């Protein structure tokens, strides 16, 4: 019996694990004022990460995505990769990064067991990249993508939050970039977070419109694997790269949900758009607590809702995207 299963028969093979909420970028849709440190916080230790990953794997999880904040800012990040990758049952270890350290460390991450990289590149115009992220590091990030390919990654996924009036004019440039490069370009629909309603109202682009354009241009949708993320992925015979669309406002977006989140402070979040987290940390102190941790996870899943409530304007935890690995 699959143990990580909710009341709607959804199975959860995919864990998004935040290891820090520290970030050195100031993206206007996430941390527009930059990261504000809280000296009281203590992020999950390597041993706690090992126990957590082992428990999820024992309950059917096969893929772990390590997120932040910016996960590579942790000094023991390579050790974290190695620990997760060494867990029996874990087949895929991915990360989401702003690319800040990729050029120097992609090869080390690959050797440690990392199997996939997602890097945020919100514009191919260095000036717009700077405007959106608050960092003038476009060329460093692009060098990091090259380093990832040199290290042996067959594909790099590139995340871009598409925003009207800012980077929506980059679509043609993005398509030209992936024509001869094995990049999966993932357009993420801007989400309403409650704290940045004005940004949403000014810059939101409906993902459904992009999907319609792609289908008209001959792009074809791929079937999802059981532990894939939420993106609808499209391919075209004339392109080496692919396009993914993450559209949280799409009908039935939640029907295929297969992922759970654990924050850098050890709280389980059943949904990115939920209101609260279930504390797990008291059951990560010793190796002998796995059975109790499994029980708490099963009990928590009984409360998972069928869908989010974004359409009703309920944004849940999204104002805290940086701390829960949004």
Annotated binding site for GTP: 16, 65, 96, 157, 259-261
Q: How many CB atoms lie within 10 A of CB 189?
A: 20
Structure tokens at 183: 């990049």
Q: How many CB atoms lie within 10 A of CB 318?
A: 22
Structure tokens at 19: 């290891």
Q: Where are the beta strands (DSSP E) in 144-269?
A: 156-162, 183-189, 220-221, 232-235, 242-246, 259-262, 267-269
Q: Residues forming the annotated binding site?
A: 16, 23, 27, 29-30, 65, 69, 96, 120, 157, 191, 254, 257, 259-261, 271
102: closest CA among 145, 45, 155?
Answer: 145
Q: Residues forming the annotated binding site for [4Fe-4S] cluster?
A: 23, 27, 30, 254, 257, 271
> Across the strands, what pairs with 94?
65, 116
Q: ∠ CA 154-259-134 to the nearest 5 degrees?
A: 65
> Across the strands, what pairs with 11?
5
In the chain, where does DSSP find H-type helix? Answer: 46-58, 77-85, 102-112, 126-133, 138-150, 171-178, 197-203, 207-216, 290-301, 321-324
Tell me phi and psi for residue 118, to 5 degrees.
Answer: -115, 130
Alpha-carbon span 12 to 90, nearest angstrom:
13
Alpha-carbon span 130 to 117, nearest angstrom:
22
- Compute the Cα dihedral for 144, 188, 232, 314 and give only its sign: positive
Could you tell me whether strands 232-235 and 220-221 are parallel, antiparallel, or unpaired per DSSP bridges?
Answer: antiparallel
169: closest CA among 212, 123, 111, 135?
Answer: 123
Q: Residues forming the annotated binding site for S-adenosyl-L-methionine?
A: 29, 69, 120, 191
């Amino acid at each position: 019996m699959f143990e990580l299963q909710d009341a709607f028969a959804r199975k959860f093979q995919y864990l998004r694990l935040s290891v820090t909420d520290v970030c050195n970028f100031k993206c206007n849709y996430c941390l527009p004022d930059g990261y504000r440190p809280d000296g009281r916080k203590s992020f999950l230790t390597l041993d706690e990460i090992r126990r957590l990953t082992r428990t999820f794997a024992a309950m059917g999880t096969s893929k772990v995505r390590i997120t932040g904040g910016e996960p590579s800012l942790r000094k023991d990040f390579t050790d974290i990769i190695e620990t997760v990758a060494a867990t029996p049952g874990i087949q895929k270890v991915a990360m989401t990064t702003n690319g800040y350290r990729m050029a120097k460390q992609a090869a080390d991450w690959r050797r440690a067991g990392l199997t996939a990289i997602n890097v945020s590149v919100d514009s191919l115009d260095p000036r717009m990249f700077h405007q959106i992220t608050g960092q003038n590091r476009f060329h460093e990030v692009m060098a990091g993508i090259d380093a990832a390919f040199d290290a042996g990654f067959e594909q790099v996924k590139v995340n871009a939050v598409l925003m009207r009036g800012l980077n929506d004019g980059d679509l043609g440039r993005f398509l030209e970039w992936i024509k001869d490069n094995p990049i999966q370009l993932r357009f993420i629909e801007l989400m309403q977070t409650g704290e940045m309603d004005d940004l949403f109202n000014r810059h939101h682009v409906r993902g459904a419109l992009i999907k319609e354009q792609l289908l008209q241009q001959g792009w074809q949708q791929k079937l999802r694997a059981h532990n894939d993320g939420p993106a609808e992925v499209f391919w075209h015979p004339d392109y080496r790269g692919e396009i993914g669309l993450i559209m949280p406002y799409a009908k039935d977006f939640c029907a295929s949900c297969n992922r759970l989140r654990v924050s850098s402070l050890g709280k389980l979040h059943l949904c990115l758009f939920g209101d609260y987290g279930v504390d797990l940390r008291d059951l990560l102190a010793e190796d002998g607590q796995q059975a109790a941790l499994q029980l708490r996870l099963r009990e928590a899943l009984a409360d998972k809702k069928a869908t989010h409530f974004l359409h009703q304007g309920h944004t849940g935890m999204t104002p805290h995207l940086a701390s829960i690995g949004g």
